[in-house]
Amino acid sequence: MTGSSAVGSAPTPASGRRSSEGFRLGNEILAFRFVATLGERRADPVERIGTPEQLRAWLIANELGSADMPASESLLRDARALREAIHRAGTAIASGGVPDPADEELLNRWTARHRARLVLTGGRARWHLPETDSARAALAVVALDAVATLGGHGDGVIKRCEQHTCGGLFVDTSRGRRRRWCSMATCGNKVKKANLKAARDGTEPGLTDG
Ligand SMILES: [Zn+2]
């Protein structure tokens, strides 16, 4: 499998690994980029979708929204509940378990709402959202990606990021399955810097990267 998503959505947004709003977009998997909207999960969590407007901005940054898309507090609540179900289910699978049935049911309720169409335009696949309730249709795309990824539709192994404050998820498709961080550009760099500093200070290296 190549591309950003187990269900074949558009490639990783061209806006780079970190958007102007501070979203972390370096993860290849759409559903796990959504999980990363709550950062530093194992330290002081950083909420990057604190308002309906921020949720809409995240959807736009991931080519799943537009500026005129309605966004409400109840949508935000539902979005965060979806996000946390993906995180719990992914964490369970990463540690060799199975997701809680309640989380599976929540994900399945979302995929039942899937109404977006995948269309080919200029050689690129894009999600075309329905006009009514487009934000929930966009979240259903995220849920579909989560189910396909967690259920093993793509190649690779689901892992939890080893950067000690992160708690994010990723799919390791590397040869030998040696990847350790959700994103090299963020967590990978952080660990590398910490190890360099530890080496320079003569302290024990490697303590920060699990
Ligand atoms: Zn990470």
209 domain-assigned: no
Strands (E) across the chain are located at 38-39, 46-47, 117-121, 124-128, 157-160, 169-172
For 65-91, letters b (16+ CB in 10 Å) and e give: beeebebeeebbebbbebbebbbbbbb
Does the pLDDT at position 159 exceed 90? yes
- pLDDT on residue 93: 97
> What percent of the chain is predicted at pLDDT more than 70?
89
- pLDDT on residue 204: 62
134 domain-assigned: yes
- pLDDT on residue 18: 74
- Averaged confidence pLDDT in the chain: 89
> What percent of the chain is predicted at pLDDT more than 90?
80
- pLDDT on residue 130: 96
18 domain-assigned: no
Q: Torsion-angle region of residue 36: left (phi > 0), alpha (psi -120 to 50) or beta?
A: alpha
Across the range 160-172, mean pLDDT stands at 96
In total, how many domains does the chain have?
1
* Other residues' Cβ atoms within 10 Å of the Cβ of residue 26: 21
Least confident of 12-26, 50-64, 85-99, 141-155: 12-26
> Residue 133 belongs to a domain with what CATH number?
1.10.3300.10
Single-letter amino acid code for the residue at 17: R
- pLDDT on residue 184: 87
Distance (angstroms) between ligand 1 centre and the Cα of 114 equals: 29
85 domain-assigned: yes
100 domain-assigned: yes
Residues of the domain holding 92: 30-158
Distance (angstroms) between ligand 1 centre and the Cα of 130 equals: 33
48 domain-assigned: yes
Distance (angstroms) between ligand 1 centre and the Cα of 120 equals: 32
184 domain-assigned: no
115 domain-assigned: yes
Question: Does residue 28 contact residue 34 with C-beta atoms inside 8 Å?
Answer: no
Distance (angstroms) between ligand 1 centre and the Cα of 56 equals: 23
Distance (angstroms) between ligand 1 centre and the Cα of 165 equals: 8
pLDDT class of 203 with cuts at 50, 70, 90: confident
